[in-house]
């Protein structure tokens, strides 16, 4: 005699497991649809950078700057290989990264302008200052540093591709 209650429960569990697997697969496919390379920033004040893509890999160093821009150069499941302004690479878990765009001022002391065609100063920022990226034309980028918004030439920033237009 066939036990229909047992078969019904078993079928329900099988459907549940298949549904969970499909959801996990869809999530990983959606994450992989983003272009590589691309820019990201640190979501936290303290982020471990590892030798490989997993919690068991040794820590190479620790970033201690919230908002630091990084370039994602590869993906493996939930891990991202990143490159910093010095060209150093390592692996970081995706939840420690943000899609918020930031840039680093490079070179010497730079003067943010009110507009690309208006040399009126908004503020002066030294190399290493992090700003939020608001937009970029082919030559100029508008950023926000400590609540002040202004424009800098793209070549004075790290964290935006040479021909990238940001709206």
Check: pTM over 0.85? Answer yes or no: no
DSSP 8-state secondary structure symbol assigned to residue 166: B
- Identify the pLDDT of residue 109: 97
Q: Give per-residue pLDDT as tens, 37-68.
A: 999 999 999 999 999 999 999 999 999 999 99
Pairing mode of beta strands 102-105, 110-115: unpaired
Average pLDDT, integer, range 158-163: 96
Cβ atoms within 10 Å, residue 72: 19
């Amino acid at each position: 005699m066939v036990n229909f209650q047992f078969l019904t429960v078993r079928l329900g569990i099988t459907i549940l497991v298949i549904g969970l697997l499909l959801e996990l697969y869809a999530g990983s496919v959606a994450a992989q649809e983003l272009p590589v390379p691309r820019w990201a920033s640190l979501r936290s004040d303290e982020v471990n950078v590892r030798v490989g893509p997993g919690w068991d890999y040794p820590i190479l160093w620790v970033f201690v700057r919230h908002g630091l821009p990084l370039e994602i150069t590869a993906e493996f499941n939930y891990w991202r290989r990143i490159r910093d302004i010095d060209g150093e690479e390592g692996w970081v878990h995706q939840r420690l990264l943000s899609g918020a765009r930031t840039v680093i001022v490079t070179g010497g002391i730079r003067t943010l302008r009110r507009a690309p065609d208006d040399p009126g100063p908004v503020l002066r920022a030294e190399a290493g200052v992090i700003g939020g990226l608001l937009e970029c034309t082919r030559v100029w980028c508008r950023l926000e540093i400590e609540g002040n918004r202004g424009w800098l030439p793209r070549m004075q920033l790290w964290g935006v591709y040479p021909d990238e237009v940001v709206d």
